[in-house]
Amino acid sequence: MIGKTISHFTILEKLGEGGMGIVYKAKDTKLDRFVALKFLPHFLTANETEKARFLQEAKAASAINHANVCVIYDLQEHESQQFIVMEYVDGSTLRDIISNSAPRKLDLRSVMNFAFQIAEALQVAHEQGIMHRDVKSENIMVNTKNQIKVMDFGLAKLKDSLKLTKTTSTLGTVAYMSPEMIQGQGVDARSDIFSFGVVLYEMLTGQLPFSGDFEAAMIFSILNEEPDPIHKFRPDLSSEFLHLLNRALEKEPENRYQSMKDLLIDLKRVNRDQSKSDNQPGLVTKSKSIASLGNLQKRKFVLFLSIGFSAIIAILMIVIFMIQPASSPPPITTLLTSYIGSETYPAISYDGKKFAFTWAGEKQDNEDIYIKLIGEEGLQHLTTEPEWEYCATWSNDGNSIIFIRGGEAPGIYRKSLLGGRETQLYSFNSPIFYADMIPKFSPDGQSIAFARYYSYGIRELFVVHLKNHYLQQLTFDKKEINDLAWTPDGHNIIFSSDRGGIAQLWRIRSKGGQPELLDIGGYNARSLSISRNDQRLVYEMGDEKQNIWRANIRDIDSGVIKPYRFISSSKSDCFPVYSPDGEKIAFMSNRTGIREIYTCNSDGTELIQITSLSAHSGVPKWSPSGEFLIFESRLEGNSDIMIVDALGRIPPRKLTNHPSDDRMPSWSADGQYVYFSSNRSGNYQIHKIPIRGGEAVQITTQSGFCGYESSNGKKFYYKKYMDITGPIYEINFENGEDTIAINDVCFSTVNWILNAEGIYYVSRNEKNDQVLKLFRFMTNEIEQLGELEEPFALSDVSDDFKYILFFLNEGYSSDIYLVDFYQ
């Protein structure tokens, strides 16, 4: 492989090899940077399970955005061999640093510095439902700036995802494994906390807390023995530090720190107080205290026996055992579909034995209704019309499917599973976009639950009681609701919502109460359905994928613009914009599960998350000075305009605080004002507000959604709301005239940008091909720059007029999962 060029990567050297991949250092010839390429080993390429585990690594790692986690740039395939393109870390493993410091130990300041970074990386992962499961010093890199990079999420487990790990194999390095992992029990974030404790002990002492000459001996040590007292190696540690380490290494998960967040709080407190500590030699080691406690308990028990209480104790134990409720088995999550494309809108039959869903088929040419028996191969292709069919539900007798069809004859239809012609039950006169949605009858037929649309990203859950027409609102927090289902007893409603930051499953009492997050459903769980016996639930889990592309405007081939993928992840990255000096790019991404604002260098390196609002945020714009970013955010449900320091040092603050939706911000040329579109007057209009606070002033009268001030501050250009193919308008601030500036098809409301040279916009030519055009201010003429072969969304042009940034919707992919023994 050395010296070989794959795609635009030249292989330079082999960096290492593990059970899940071979890693090479490579040169990215397009972006002129070093990267690391991780290939699935050749002997595993034919194994679909191993490929799936490899993909899970990429998905897990790319979902985490943190300075101390190795960045995943892309996932590609070469000659049927998949590989991950990741950040190249110039440095050493933590294991090597510890070894090289022997016989001296790492100084306490270095230990604390490394510990903070590792803990913060794991905390971010855990908060996204991702456990690493292979935390060890070999998987932690330290770069030349002493920055930690947690590597190798090859064993990472996305919460409630398909269980790909082989139950017959012992994974991870045994010395760092938690007792529950060794014993094959279920693991969660607390297992990573134990492994972190092992790494912390190793950094402090230069050796591992548990020892053994072979694997069985090591396992015995972890399960039964206690580490050597750490004060024997580090008498400089405070008793609080020793307590922290002991708690992290507790053998029972319930006795450990329950979250990395709690551990971090104690770690910071210990670091603050360490200099004040009296340097006591430490606590009595756990092995001695447990042994002493055991002896004491034995003596007490003998005493009880001697005075004749054993019979009473035995009777009490029997009574307690008899009245203690039996524990329910945990729900089991199973992948039901993993076909090409997306499987959506699952509906489980009332007996829980089969389910209906929408799929575009092997050819991905038409979305139809399919039926599948759970646990068996094969599909029944129920509908075959060329229109889109979706939202299937089962008839009461279980012999027919009722569904919605779009196309030329939209409506509600019914078709028997036994064959025959379908029947149209209801005809739609026109498409409905915004209304009361997802109506679901209660099991007794006396109530209907539904989601009421308020604005983009905001739906509330309601129940209407048919007997007295009483309308009851159940949710009040201005979040999205994707789907809902009644539990068979009618006492609860399960619904999908992003109120926790990402789409997950929630439960609320049908008579009212607080929503409760369920520990089933996993990441981005959307459409759902429950069997009538209350034992099975199916749900759809998927992601929309958008990537940022870049094109060299001076390198147009035969009239065609050739963008290349520039910034990508397994999630959506979009709306990129250059900083005024061209050194940075800001963009929005949901790689942490919800849309936040990020920046990176102009070559795509040094990714930094600027906002952590846990609220949909996007459409960033740099201030003329490059010091600030403005963006829209749904921090309180409705959209407000916010401003943040471009380095992320100061928390964001609101510029607008109105119950309306304030969107699509842009700067005035002097940086003193911010323009935005708001529906506060009833329909969307452009408003202007001082950057230092004050009242917003409306500047458009007909309509306005997206606009920019000219570089000289004398004019304002804008598009009207929902005017997809309409012209671009111009307001002359000197005389107040509002006229058409570009009377051409400007495709999409936001698919255009303005700079000192002119207005770049996406249009259509006479062949209806998508083309990029430039309206030059100097000549007042329109110039066609080139065709676009994909439906790229224009986002920005560099100030040197060399590069164009686009983003491209590269599809939505989803699968259907089953939760068994649902309670």
Burial of 5 (0-12, 13-18, 19+ CB in 10 A): exposed
What is d(CA 565, CA 545) in angstroms, rounded to the nearest whole number? 13
The verdict on whether 266 is a catalytic residue reads no
Q: Which residues contact 795 (CB under 8 A, 6 or more apart)?
A: 548, 574, 575, 576, 577, 753, 805, 806, 807
Q: Which of 134, 192, 498, 573 is catalytic?
A: 134
What is the C-alpha separation between 613 and 595, in angstroms, rounded? 9
Q: Which of 48, 46, 24, 43 is nearest to 34 (CA)?
A: 24
Of 745, 741, 744, which Cα lies nearest the Cα of 731? 741
Q: Which two tokens stand for residue 748?
A: 């999409």
- Whole-angstrom Cα distance, residue 495 to residue 503? 10
| Residues 219, 181: Cα–Cα separation, whole Å | 11
414: nearest Cα among 441, 385, 394, 434: 394
User: Measuring CA to CA, which residue among 472, 471, 475 is closest to residue 496?
Assistant: 475
700 DSSP β-pair partners: none
- Using CA of residue 310, residue 314, residue 319, residue 321, what is the dihedral sign? positive
Q: Alpha carbon of 30 to those of 89, 550, 564: distances in Å?
A: 19, 11, 9
Residue type at 747 in one-letter notation: F
Q: Is 90 helix (H, G, I), strand (E, B) or coil?
A: coil
- Give the burial class of 757: count Cβ atoms within 10 A of its Cβ; 0-12 exposed, 13-18 middle, 19 or more buried: middle
Return phi, psi of residue 621, to 5°: -140, 130
The type of residue at 758 is G
Q: Locate all alpha helices (DSSP H) within 161-285, ordered by sequence.
A: 179-182, 189-205, 215-224, 239-248, 260-274
C-alpha span between 767 and 143 (Å, rounded): 53
Q: What is the DSSP letter of 154?
A: T
Catalytic (active-site) positions: 134
